[in-house]
Amino acid sequence: MNNIELSDHIRKLRSYGANVKGNSITLYRCANVEPEIINQLRYGDYLSAVADGVDETGNCGAASYGSNCVKFELSVLDVVVTGAGEYQFRGASKSLDCGKKYPLEIYRAYNNAYGSNFSSEEIDAESNVRAIASTALSGGRDKFDALMTTHSS
């Protein structure tokens, strides 16, 4: 991402209410599980700009999803804003590290296509990975096939 793209990305993150300082963004995640589990962000997890109340776009704050809350300081490069105005984690995650069938780029593409946070094990169990992941890959099925050829070599 060049400097202009980075500036545009940061402007977009801020426009949805997040606190961005430099290249760091503060977001929140709450759930009714132990904070240690919440801390283990999965690729595709949704995060909130505010802990309580509603954010600038009217989305519920993190506390509406559970009683245990964790504050994250993340790189702006690891977060995107979805079409619905929600923050989604797209950084490195252990949830995709254990994949056996596909290269990492395909696991990410599958989650990007669905807007989901499936683990590599969950994706490995699916039968339609090529069709789904191809929709999120630049180059579609040809790119999928090329990645698989490289992966299986």
Rounded Cα gap, residues 36 and 38, in angstroms: 6
Tell me the domain boundaries of the chain: 3-92, 95-152
Q: What is the pLDDT of residues 82-100, one digit of tens each?
A: 888 889 999 998 888 878 8
The stretch 70-77 carries a mean pLDDT of 96
What pLDDT does residue 117 have? 93
Name the pLDDT band for 51 (thresholds 50, 70, 90).
very high
Kindly report the pTM of this predicted structure. Answer: 0.84
Who's near 61: CB < 8 A, 6+ residues apart? 28, 48, 49, 50, 51, 52, 53, 54, 55
Do the beta carbons of residue 102 and residue 129 sit within 8 Å?
Answer: yes
As beta bridge partners, residue 26 has: 19, 73
